[in-house]
Structure 1
Amino acid sequence: MNAAPADPLAWLMTLEGVPSAFASARDGIDVVLRDRGLRRTSPETTAESLLRGAHASAVLEGSASSLPQVRAGEGDEIAADAVRLSAELLALMPVVRAQPLQALARLHALAGQGSVPADRLGRPRDAEAATTLRALAELITARTEAPALAVAAIVHADLATAAPFASHNGMVARAAERLLLAARGVDEKSLVVPEAAHLALRAQYESNLRGWGSGSQAGRHSWLLYSAEAFAAAAEASPLRREAQ
């Protein structure tokens, strides 16, 4: 009888403060979604959350457009890329569950449309990038005791730092994080706004991504603790908070 495969994220659960930080962040998300009116949530609230996320992700990618400009359809090219990506994001929920490599490729194809040659859309830059993407796809479908928030955070960090695509890697990374939160049942209606949290915590976000990219144990540890903090802030950035006031 074959033994069950080892948990690829077992190491994460041994890091000091990490399991409790993610548990606390998940509790905060659950409170906002439950207590701020999830049962009466409208599609417009999801659309507003996605729009806020697109704007924040675009700014992190270099856009100079304001949220009102993006809402009015008057954002710059980077903002337009982010909005186009967000518009199709939730349709990829079943794809990322069953064929995560295809979902990641589609994220880049959406983001890079019009600015990347058609033969490079959704394709890894080189053999090393292809290996990275395959490893991430395996991680997404692996059986693990690690919380869904942690899986989303790791996929985000690996995409952002390994930069496997020809462009828009940060934008794709943040979209993949939000997509996994929805697909894994943390936030099925995509009402929290992790991109806005990363923008509000930009210095920490960028510093901790560099730490993750270093490959050190300390860098990994710091990114995961930061991510738990950002997920808590993402819940506070939800449009549900404004509706409840």
Structure 2
Amino acid sequence: MQYQTLNVEIAGYVATVTLNRPEVRNAFNETMIADITAAFTALNTRDDVRAVVLAANGKSFCAGADLNWMKKMAAYSDDENRADAMLLANMLSSIYRCNKPVIARVSGDAYAGGMGLISACDIVVAVESARFCLSEARLGLIPATIAPYVIRALGEQASRRYFVTAEQFDCATALRLGLVSEAVSAEQLDATVQQIAQTLCANGPQAVRACKQLVQDVAGRELNDALIEDTAARIAHTRAGAEGREGVASFLEKRTAAWRN
């Protein structure tokens, strides 16, 4: 598919989705929202993709919402605003619920909705110079649609601070809080992202998908009999599956698993 605001490339089981509006710091509008949703929906169905990298062209990763788009929304009715907000919410969900692990390659600053994009990803690799900000309160707004993802990624206590202060914080702070998985120099960024992607692709593709879903399904659930039974059923199903049998057999026989050939 062709996209107006993105570049999408696939090589060696890794898809790279690159935000391509550098002239506005990759701020998103209705077109980019539709493009991102369509791209991740399409990648979700591809067996030749085992990992996705979300990247950006230009100095900034994503500055949040495009100002011209925000001006347009100011004239919307309540119903129109709700419908528009749902498109943004669905875009974030398409990243979070992608059945492949998603690595955010954060090459620059991420503000407001840009924080939502990286928080919806599974692994975040950022340059040490990147800055982060939940700036909505400065504009009299709230980070509502991104909140489910940011709070999971940043943690409740840190979110209580940065939602209301709209303070900017650096990459070292983001790393300490858990928003960023790895902070590296600009020179190390591509190599680090590539190494993580290759590690993901070396694992059983069905197992990786099931692991991602497992975390989403188990996080925050009460540890009760239903959860114990659910997890037991999942591992039993995996053991009996073709990929599980092949993985164990290849380990015992000291050979390369079929999915790596």
The structure richer in helix per residue is 1
The structure richer in strand per residue is 2
TM-score normalised by the chain length of structure 2: 0.22
TM-score normalised by the chain length of structure 1: 0.23
Query: Larger relative CO (CA 8 A, sep 6+): 1 or 2?
Result: 1
Rg (Cα) greater in structure: 2
